[in-house]
Amino acid sequence: MPRIHQISAEEALEIERLRRKNKDKIIDKWLEVLQLRAAGKTRSAIGEKTGFSQSYVSDLVREYREVGLEAFAKKQYKGNHRNMSYAEEAELLAPFKACAESGKIVEVSEILAAYEEKLGRTIRSNGLIYEVLKRHGWRKVMPRSKHPNKANHEEIESSKKLTQR
């Protein structure tokens, strides 16, 4: 049977205090694990309550034992760092918007080149440009070459022969 790490009453109060101040859901789940461990719950019971695996529960408790609450004080996962502000993106898209409104075709490759030039580095894919365009309310509008359910030429001619009297 695995040894349960005991968390003292003072530590449990500190965990509860931090949990009340916290507004991040992920950190709250981590602190809930520590709080349940302080209450004497087993790894399996904590895992069922929080949805974490037993090994992850052990990892969280071990990290608390080794580092302390500093490990849980801030979220480690950042992300969604944008290269430009919304206003800078709008400024970059302004000439392309003027071209599009005048009826010209605007290609993503042109916008990508302008974006890379402004950043001073290359971008790996066009996906970033599509996200920028979506953020600014652009949508892909192009005429369909033919209706997807249109019959072929022979079927059209044969139906004309049948319907004529």
Q: What CA–CA distance (Å, rounded) separates 19 from 22?
A: 5
Can you give the residue ranges of every domain in the chain?
Answer: 9-73, 86-135
Cβ neighbour number for residue 129 with a 10 Å cutoff? 21
Tens-place pLDDT, residues 85-139: 899 999 999 999 999 888 888 899 999 999 999 999 898 888 889 999 999 999 8
Tens-place pLDDT, residues 23-72: 888 888 999 999 999 988 999 999 999 999 999 999 999 988 888 888 77
Q: Which of 36, 32, 132 is nearest to 82 (CA)?
A: 132
What is the DSSP secondary structure assignment for residue 57, as one 8-state letter? H
Q: What CA–CA distance (Å, rounded) separates 67 from 50?
A: 22
Tens-place pLDDT, residues 10-22: 888 998 898 888 8
Half-sphere exposure of 123 (CA within 13 A, CB side): 21
